[in-house]
């Protein structure tokens, strides 16, 4: 027998005993043998035939029918058998164990196993490490043993305060060696979680099959039972004894989960009986989004929580001219607002052209979490069942808004006047973005809003009395304006917001579209006052969202800088508060033509034809800055390809976007050999030839896409790091880009 320390140092075991050589025990034995980690593997069971088969299959070296005899001199004992039998086994081996023998088990309920150990030994032995590999299947027996069973599966260990740390380490290392991810958990918590996620579904599967099988027409039912029945009931083929034991062993927690489930089924039954479509759709859409989210989580890919922000790299290079027609995805700003306004409107709102990017989906999910029934998105279509001005409900937890500053700032306004408390959180980029700009004026309106040193998370206390204010924005920000106007809907009196320069006016336009009166008054220069009276109602309707000019901008620059290019971007929103990018590019000499300008759902829309041309460096007019605020990363690329110098001033806002866009772009351009000099409020860029190289987008979607465009003129390929967040605004960017002749490859 080895000392525990020796085992840990060498990760080899002289003797291991597996009591219960079935799927779970047999699979671990198999993988440890293959890896040469165990010198002698002894199986114990009651069925000699089974044990002989295990020897013949090479899973174990030898077997014994007597557990007490087998465990003598063992370094490690794994008990992998139905949980109700564990007490008896522990009692039988108690006197044969040496003080150094480590015992672990694989039972699906942990409270009962710990209680059994206490009963047998007086107190739970320090070398006993309760465990639970979550890797079972409906298959059982040694024939099903598979050395890859634990690969990427979880093993939960539930050590007690008295558990020996060395023993815990060894058990943990062994499971890890089998490929599992090991976590530790409190015994009681384990049993509650597993009751809901594993035990209840098994109970329901057994019950459904039994109910259907008991009906007279059962033959017929089973003959036609395809996908749904099969998927739902696969686990009813699991080992009955094992599950009988688990349900009894974790009875209380299972009953609690069953009660919660029964309540849910009763509600659904009532909705069906009453033909209450809205309640039914509410249940189904919430469940679908939760299930989809869960599937993506399992695939390491959550839609509200972008992939580990550092794990997607773009490799972009040169190709020929860009040609063809393309429609980029829907406008992000309008997509956010369609959900927000649709949710608090009366009646239904049908949206088409919705952007299915992570940012707008975060907004959608937030309103689902607040009880709004939302169908879709499906191919850009979304249907929102409005709950009225005061119909939102407290969400079950913090609202996670991912990378989306627009969601957080606009929701801060909208939610500051609700009856419930709510916390708004986001990813690492959003968590360092300034929120005082909304929290300050909202507090003046009476909101009880807390920030973390001016940054997220934001906490909003319910039941605040909101009143209108007159607010002159120090920075031209559509997000701040919109946040205050949304709070103003709930305020006593009139809310007036003065913008020093024009910013995107989608909130004003859309409020009008929802039947809410908004006044806009021109003040001196380009300044405007936007005001509304609180206490009105919004009426749902339909919204046709145009393609996002901010996404189209990448292709405008791409086609401008690659000789002989000629592309048409279809159905792009050309609201004059957004067309700074066109104005700036045209001033640089770009050949951009707006075709068939029209109004769609209150927004100006056009097809945009862009042909290659020699760009010239310019001083960017400062009045264009708020009108092109999101397009500067790609405009800097245009500047790098232009003749002469381009200078930007008055754009310090760029330093607090998804990244510090002045610095991150300057760093990337300099890495490619571009003469780029950042200043406090802008940058100067001398156009010319540049090379390929490695640049880091710092998780900023627009910077990742801008450098994909830059590659079209670089003398070598560009490797762009941290591109996962492209999915926040333009999930299909790479495909579309390659379709029109760009050259971008993705590596995850």
Site residues for ligand S3P per CB under 6 A: 333, 406, 477-479, 482, 503-504, 629-630, 653
SS3 percent helix, strand, coil of the chain, rounded to 5, is 45, 20, 35
Asked if residue 495 lies in contact with residue 534, where contact means CB atoms within 8 angstroms, the answer is: yes
Asked if residue 29 lies in contact with residue 5, where contact means CB atoms within 8 angstroms, the answer is: no
End-to-end CA gap in the chain = 46
Q: Which residue has the tokens 């009963």?
A: 119
For ligand S3P, give the closer residue by CB, 629 or 637. 629
**CA dist 317 → 314, 716, 717, 746 (Å):** 10, 7, 5, 12
567 phi and psi angles, rounded to 5 deg: -125, 160
> Residue 10: exposed, middle, or buried by beta-carbon count in 10 A (0-12, 13-18, 19+)?
exposed
| Least distance to ligand S3P, CB of residue 265, Å | 41
Other C-beta atoms lying within 10 Å of the C-beta of residue 207: 13
For ligand S3P, give the closer residue by CB, 28 or 549. 549
| Least distance to ligand S3P, CB of residue 482, Å | 5
> At a CB cut-off of 8 Å and minimum separation 6, what does 416 contact?
442, 445, 447, 448, 449, 460, 464, 466, 487, 490
| Least distance to ligand S3P, CB of residue 626, Å | 7
Other C-beta atoms lying within 10 Å of the C-beta of residue 517: 10
| Least distance to ligand S3P, CB of residue 635, Å | 14
| Least distance to ligand S3P, CB of residue 575, Å | 11
Q: Which of 544, 548, 630, 700 is catalytic?
A: 630
Which residue, among 493, 485, 544, has the nearest Cα to 516 in the 3D structure?
Answer: 485
| Least distance to ligand S3P, CB of residue 478, Å | 4
For ligand S3P, give the closer residue by CB, 172 or 550. 550
| Least distance to ligand S3P, CB of residue 503, Å | 6
Which residue, among 145, 255, 279, 123, has the nearest Cα to 191 in the 3D structure?
Answer: 255
Question: Cα separation of 76 and 38, whole Å?
Answer: 10
The reply to whether 630 belongs to the active site is yes
602: left (phi over 0), alpha (psi -120 to 50) or beta: left
- The SS3 assignment for 324 reads strand
For ligand S3P, give the closer residue by CB, 238 or 338. 338
For ligand S3P, give the closer residue by CB, 242 or 478. 478
Q: Which residue has the tokens 């107190």?
A: 123
Give one DSSP letter per residue of 237-250, joined into a string.
Answer: GS-HHHHHHHHHHT
For ligand S3P, give the closer residue by CB, 438 or 711. 438
For ligand S3P, give the closer residue by CB, 45 or 580. 580
| Least distance to ligand S3P, CB of residue 445, Å | 18
For ligand S3P, give the closer residue by CB, 104 or 477. 477
Asked if residue 632 lies in contact with residue 573, where contact means CB atoms within 8 angstroms, the answer is: no
Q: For strand 693-696 and strand 718-721, is the pairing parallel, antiparallel, or unpaired?
A: parallel
Question: Cα separation of 46 and 50, whole Å?
Answer: 9
Q: Which two tokens stand for residue 356?
A: 């299915």
For ligand S3P, give the closer residue by CB, 50 or 482. 482
Catalytic (active-site) positions: 630
């Amino acid at each position: 027998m080895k000392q525990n320390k020796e085992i840990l140092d060498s990760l080899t075991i002289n003797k291991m005993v597996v009591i219960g050589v079935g799927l779970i025990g047999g699979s671990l034995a198999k993988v440890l043998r293959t890896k040469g980690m165990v010198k002698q593997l002894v199986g114990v069971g009651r069925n000699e035939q089974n044990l002989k088969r295990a020897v013949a299959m090479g899973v174990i070296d030898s077997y014994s029918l007597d557990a007490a005899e087998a465990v003598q001199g063992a370094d490690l004992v794994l008990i992998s058998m139905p949980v109700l039998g564990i007490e008896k086994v522990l009692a039988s081996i108690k006197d044969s164990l040496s003080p150094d023998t480590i015992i672990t088990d694989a039972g699906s309920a942990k409270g009962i196993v710990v209680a059994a150990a206490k009963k047998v030994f007086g107190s739970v032995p320090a070398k006993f490490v309760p465990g639970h590999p979550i890797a079972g299947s409906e298959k059982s027996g040694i024939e099903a043993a598979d050395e890859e069973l634990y690969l990427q599966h979880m093993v939960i260990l539930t050590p007690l305060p008295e558990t020996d740390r060395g023993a815990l380490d060894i058990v943990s290392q062994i499971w890890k060696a089998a490929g599992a991810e090991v976590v530790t958990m409190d015994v009681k918590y384990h049993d509650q979680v597993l009751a809901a996620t594993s035990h209840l579904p098994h109970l329901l599967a057994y019950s459904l099959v039994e109910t259907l099988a008991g009906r007279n027409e059962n033959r017929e039912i089973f003959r036609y039972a395809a996908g749904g029945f099969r998927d739902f009931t696969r686990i009813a083929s699991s080992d009955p004894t094992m599950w009988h034991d688990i349900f009894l062993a974790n009875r209380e927690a299972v009953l609690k989960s069953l009660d919660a489930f029964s309540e849910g089924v009763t509600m659904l039954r009532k909705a069906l009986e009453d033909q209450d479509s809205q309640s039914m759709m509410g249940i189904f859409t919430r469940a679908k989004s939760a299930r989809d989210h869960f599937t993506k989580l399992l695939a390491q890919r959550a839609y509200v929580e972008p992939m580990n922000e550092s794990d997607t790299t773009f490799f972009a290079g040169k190709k020929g001219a860009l040609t063809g027609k393309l429609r980029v995805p829907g406008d992000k700003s309008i997509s956010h607002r369609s959900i927000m306004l649709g949710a608090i409107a009366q009646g239904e709102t049908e949206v088409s052209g919705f952007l299915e990017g992570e940012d707008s989906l975060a907004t959608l999910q937030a309103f689902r979490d607040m009880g709004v029934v939302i169908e879709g998105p499906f191919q850009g279509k979304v249907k929102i069942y409005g709950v009225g001005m005061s119909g939102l409900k407290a969400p079950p937890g913090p609202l996670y808004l991912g990378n989306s500053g627009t969601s957080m700032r606009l929701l801060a306004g909208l939610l500051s006047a609700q009856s419930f408390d709510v916390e708004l959180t986001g990813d690492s980029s959003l968590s360092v973005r300034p929120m005082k700009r909304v929290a300050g004026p909202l507090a003046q309106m009476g909101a009880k809003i807390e920030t973390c040193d001016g940054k997220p998370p934001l906490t909003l206390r319910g039941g605040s009395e909101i009143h209108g204010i007159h607010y002159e924005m120090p920075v031209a920000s559509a997000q701040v304006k919109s946040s205050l106007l949304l709070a103003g809907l709930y305020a006593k009196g009139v809310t007036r917001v003065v913008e020093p320069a024009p910013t995107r006016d989608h909130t004003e336009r859309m409020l009008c579209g929802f039947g809410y009166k908004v006044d806009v008054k021109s003040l001196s220069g380009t300044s405007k006052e936007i005001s509304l009276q609180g206490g009105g109602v919004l009426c749902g309707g339909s919204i046709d969202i145009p393609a996002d000019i901010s996404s189209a901008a990448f292709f405008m620059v791409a086609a401008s800088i690659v000789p002989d290019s000629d592309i048409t971007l279809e159905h792009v929103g050309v609201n004059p508060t957004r067309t700074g990018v066109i104005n700036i590019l045209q001033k640089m000499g770009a050949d951009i033509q707006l075709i068939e300008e029209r109004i769609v759902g209150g927004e100006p829309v056009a097809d945009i034809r862009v042909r290659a041309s020699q760009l010239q460096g310019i001083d960017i007019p400062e009045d264009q800055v708020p009108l092109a605020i999101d397009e500067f990363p790609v405009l800097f690329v245009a500047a790098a390809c232009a003749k002469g110098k381009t200078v930007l001033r008055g754009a310090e806002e760029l330093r607090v976007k998804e990244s510090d866009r002045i610095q991150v772009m300057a760093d990337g351009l300099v890495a490619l050999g571009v003469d780029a000099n950042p200043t406090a409020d802008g940058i100067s860029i001398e156009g010319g030839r540049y090379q390929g190289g490695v640049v880091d987008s710092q998780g900023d979607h627009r910077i990742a896409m801008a450098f994909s465009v830059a590659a079209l003129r670089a003398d070598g390929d560009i490797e762009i790091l941290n591109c996962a967040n492209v999915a926040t605004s333009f999930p299909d960017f790479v495909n579309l880009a390659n379709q029109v002749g760009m050259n971008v490859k993705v590596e995850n």
